[in-house]
Amino acid sequence: MNGVLVIDKPEGMTSHDVVHRVRKLLGERSVGHLGTLDPMATGVLPLVLGKLTRLAQFYTSAEKTYRGHIRFGFATTTYDADGEPTTPISSARPSLDEVCNLAPRFRGPIQQTPPPFSAKKIRGVPAYKLARIGKLAEDELKPTTVEIKEFNLLSMENDCVAFEARVASGTYMRSVAHEMGQWLGMGAHLASLRRTEVAEFALADAHRLEEFETAVKEGKDGELFVHPRRLLPALPPVTADDEGAGRIRAGRAVNLPELSRAPLVKVFYGQNELICIAERVAGTLFQPKCVFIRN
């Protein structure tokens, strides 16, 4: 069971909950995801299955796109709607112009402090585990450089502003909401978040868990997987012949009919079987870097 499946994660489930559900449905232990979504968040959660879990190393810096709402009036322990208030509830409300004037501070490379309830490792332990037992000191979460490539504020209704954002890996929209509240002096938190894209995967590729469960029961689950030729679109595709595929399966260097000068290529056997990511050695000689299928 080797493939990539995009799930539209529902609100209230952790990313691990989704992985566990898919493992149970397929009877496949090797299932991972390409970027955690918080329990309150919904949207694109790409899963890698079987031998294709090895693809995860090529997505560690994948860009992500979000839609959501920031609520002004009070901050919370988790920086989102799941947390408890940490500031008095204020009746003050910013105007859309005030929020838009603040937005440039959150575009481009910025210094951002991760939320205390996050997977950021502190002394080798996820911060949220230390925060739950009161063992996380305020100064232990250090600011890091992240990049927000696009951050557009769309509309204001009552105490919430709607936004769209495109961010580099490692960016927390919860921290953006929290810090905007600090700048405006009235507290704020992330009220909703929906991930619309991760790398080449979008909502149009995503399936509800109920839809996938039905497909499994009908023996049609493979029809919901992303076509292998769509994976890693920046890498040129090459098709190996029988001899070349045999060498690749054995982890040996192989000559491939590759006309570009790309340092990495994705190698197929036939139209649908992705067998490796290969690295150019010289000319048309490539060394398998990540083999997905072996003899």
Nearest alpha carbon to residue 64 among 146, 122, 142, 128: 146
The counts of H helices and E strands in the chain are: 6, 16
Q: State the DSSP H helix or E strand holding residue 246, giving kind and residue range, or none if neither.
A: helix 242-249
- Cα separation, 200 vs 234, in Å, equals 10
Burial of 204 (0-12, 13-18, 19+ CB in 10 A): exposed
Contact predicate 42/9, CB 8 Å: yes
> Tokens 């080798």 sit at which residue?
124
Written as one letter, the residue type at 52 is L
What type of residue sits at position 203?
L
Please measure the distance between the N-terminal and C-terminal CA atoms of the chain and give it in whole angstroms: 16
Does 139 qualify as catalytic in the annotation?
A: no
- Among candidate residues 8, 38, 205, 221, the one labeled active-site is 38
Question: Active-site residue numbers?
Answer: 38
